[in-house]
Structure 1
């Protein structure tokens, strides 16, 4: 499958948003997933298998911190990167191999939320206040819930790519853990950044939803 064909198919699965018109971060993320997904699809590795692998890798993030102490914080950052790559690949494999299903879409969404909970659990184990980690997770999950409900209500387009989309949360998790490896109290700053971005994203998304559904 050529890149343009893949981008068109990806757009249909993401509310009509064209990744070729996204900012460099989202566009680069989708492009990498396309390349690696093509490689996996050629070897007959299915999307559900990739999703499951990514979920198990996510669960290793808090385990690394809990079991390996300071070295585990650095390892956790590396594991988040691996998990994020796996997360971006399942959808790519599904599109390229023509194996997109509604069950797979739901499974992938649930796996994403569980994975982010694991990352924030690692933040808490590293030293972030529990209430702050819970608030950050809740704000992100509310954003995704609002998007899902808006789609169910008839919103045909994403409407906006917010400042706290999945690639941004991945970067906050990775660089937050790396910063905490250098100086542990910085994990609280990273958690606060996650929360702040999620709150801004919520306003962006709700504004777009109101505009789209009121039209």
Structure 2
């Protein structure tokens, strides 16, 4: 199938293809996840016409995430750049996935790489909060609970039960919002004093931990309900 034919695929056709891959129709998923998928699809269409490769976008997303702790290490107003890098990394990652679906370049190794990039990205974001002054114990707890939630979700999917993004509390979306807005807050606080910036980083870490606890609890409850 040629690139021109692929990029003329409308939203309904794209949604049907996405549903065949994920087992859930994105047209019926909760907001804001449904809207996020539509935006990703809209951004991917012109890139498909240009012949962009999903793997290159995925690699760019990882590079942007790895730049987040680098910005945080410099501190000051550069921390605002860390927040912007998180948002750009997330958009790039989402577009790479949409591009893979749109151009039918879905591979099993691609799934593995995408999951790996997500976990490495979140580790980099948590590392940035630690560099800004959040307690190490708090950061380790955030990472452990987050990765445990994602592991449980993955193992559940192997049973045939799909937990739809947006239907479970504590999804990756709230984590992204927490760290992106939190890094911006840290940057503004750092302009006043380093002590205030450390306090802001600890607060952001605490919010992430709360989101992780809610997410893990809700995923576990949903799994028991679905499989019990």
Q: What is the TM-score when the length of structure 2 is the normalising length? A: 0.87
Q: What aligned pairs does 1:188-199 form with structure 2 within 5 A after superposition?
A: 188-199=202-213
Tell me the equivalent position of 2:24: 17
Q: Distance in 2 between matches of 1:85 and 1:169?
A: 14
Rate the CA distance shift 1:11–1:193 in 2: closer, same or farther, 3 A.
farther
Q: Which 4+ runs in 1 deviate beyond 4 A?
A: none
Give how far 1:180 is off.
Answer: 1.1
Give how far 1:13 is off.
Answer: 3.2
Q: What aligned pairs does 1:1-215 form with structure 2 within 5 A after superposition?
A: 1-14=9-22, 16-66=23-73, 68-152=74-158, 154-158=159-163, 161-183=167-189, 184=197, 185-214=199-228
Q: Distance in 1 between matches of 2:112 and 2:86?
A: 21
Q: What is the TM-score when the length of structure 1 is the normalising length? A: 0.92
Secondary structure, in 3 states, of the residue corresponding to 1:203? helix
Give how far 1:24 is off.
Answer: 2.6
Gap runs ≥5 in structure 1: none
Give how far 1:20 is off.
Answer: 2.4
Q: Rg larger in 1 or in 2?
A: 2
Question: How many residues are treated as equivalent by the alignment?
Answer: 211
**Deviation digits for residues 132-175 of structure 1, max 9, x if unmatched?**
111111111111100111122x1332267322222221111111
Q: Distance in 2 between matches of 1:117 and 1:83?
A: 13
Give how far 1:27 is off.
Answer: 1.7
**Deviation digits for residues 69-107 of structure 1, max 9, x if unmatched?**
212211100111110101111110100001111110110
Rate the CA distance shift 1:168–1:19 in 2: closer, same or farther, 3 A.
farther
Secondary structure, in 3 states, of the residue corresponding to 2:77? helix
